C-alpha cells in the first residue's frame, strides 16, 4: 500500500488520461448551502497536488454562493473505462488572484468572453440576450487581451479524506481510504 494518496492519484489520473475518451479531468463537485441543502454538478480539474484540487468558476454562480456560505465540498472522479473512481472530501480555500489570472490567460478567447458575458446560474430570458452580451464583450475587448473578470476565480479543495475505489467481480470492490491526520496520512480499507 502507498502512504501518499497524491502519488496514487497521479498514477490513476495518468491512466485515465490515456484511457478515457472524453474529459478525464471531469469531476462531480458536491456543495451545500447554509441550510445544508446539497447540490452537485460537473466541473473540470485544472490543477492538483499536495495542496489540493483546483477548479475555476464564476464566484456569483450557485456553486460560488454555496462555497461562500459553506466552505466544505466533495469531489468525485468516475473513470468508467478503468472501472475506478476517486472520492475526495475537504475544506475549500480560494486560489490566489495571480494563479487565477495565469489560468484565465490560458483559456480560449471565446471562453474568456463567455466568463464576462454570463451571469452564471441566474435566470436568462432568452438565448439571444446572452448572445448579444457576448457580442458586446467581444467588441469591448477587440484587439486586446481579455482580462480576468472580477467575479471569476478559483477554488481549491484541500482534502481530508481520499478514497480510491476499484471495481471487482461480484461487487466485491476494493476501497482504499486515506485520512489526513495533521500533515500526515493514514491508510486503511473499507468494506465494499
pLDDT for the residue numbered 1:
53
Assign residue 143 a region: left if phi > 0, alpha if psi is -120 to 50, beta otherwise?
left
107 is catalytic: no
Looking at the domain 5-104+150-190, which fold is it?
Pnp Oxidase; Chain A (2.30.110)
Task: Write down the catalytic residue from 109, 171, 175, 180.
Answer: 171
Burial class of residue 165 in the structure, from the number of CB atoms within 10 Å of its CB (0-12 exposed, 13-18 middle, 19+ buried): buried
pLDDT for the residue numbered 21:
87
Instruction: Per residue of the chain (192 residues), give pLDDT as tens.
Output: 567 999 999 999 999 999 998 999 999 999 999 999 999 999 999 999 999 999 999 999 999 999 999 999 999 999 999 999 999 999 999 999 999 999 999 999 999 999 999 999 999 999 999 999 999 999 999 999 999 999 999 999 999 999 999 999 898 899 999 999 998 999 999 999
User: 464583450: which residue's cell?
Assistant: 137
Question: Where are the domains positioned within the chain?
Answer: 5-104+150-190
Question: Comparing C-alpha atoms, which of 153, 161, 151, 59 is closest to residue 104?
Answer: 153
Please tell me the distance from the alpha carbon of residue 154 to that of residue 98, in angstroms, as a whole number.
Answer: 10
pLDDT for the residue numbered 3:
74
Report the predicted TM-score, pTM, of the whole model to 2 decimal places.
0.93
Amino acid at each position: 500500500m502507498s502512504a501518499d494518496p497524491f502519488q496514487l492519484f497521479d498514477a490513476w489520473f495518468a491512466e485515465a488520461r490515456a484511457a478515457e475518451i472524453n474529459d478525464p479531468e471531469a469531476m462531480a463537485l458536491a456543495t451545500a448551502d447554509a441550510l445544508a441543502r446539497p447540490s452537485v454538478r460537473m466541473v473540470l480539474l485544472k490543477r492538483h497536488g499536495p495542496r489540493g484540487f483546483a477548479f475555476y468558476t464564476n464566484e456569483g454562480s450557485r456553486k460560488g454562493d454555496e462555497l461562500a456560505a459553506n466552505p466544505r465540498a466533495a469531489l468525485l472522479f468516475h473513470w468508467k473505462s478503468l472501472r475506478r473512481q476517486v472520492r475526495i472530501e475537504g475544506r475549500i480555500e480560494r486560489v490566489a488572484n495571480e494563479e487565477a489570472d495565469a489560468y484565465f490567460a490560458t483559456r480560449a478567447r471565446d471562453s474568456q468572453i463567455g466568463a464576462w458575458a454570463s451571469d452564471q446560474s441566474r435566470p436568462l430570458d432568452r438565448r439571444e440576450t446572452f448572445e448579444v452580451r457576448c457580442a458586446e464583450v467581444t467588441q469591448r475587448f477587440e484587439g486586446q487581451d481579455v482580462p480576468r473578470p472580477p467575479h471569476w476565480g478559483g477554488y481549491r479543495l484541500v482534502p481530508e479524506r481520499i478514497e480510491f475505489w476499484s471495481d471487482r467481480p461480484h461487487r466485491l470492490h476494493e476501497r482504499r481510504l486515506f485520512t489526513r491526520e495533521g500533515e500526515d496520512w493514514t491508510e486503511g480499507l473499507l468494506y465494499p
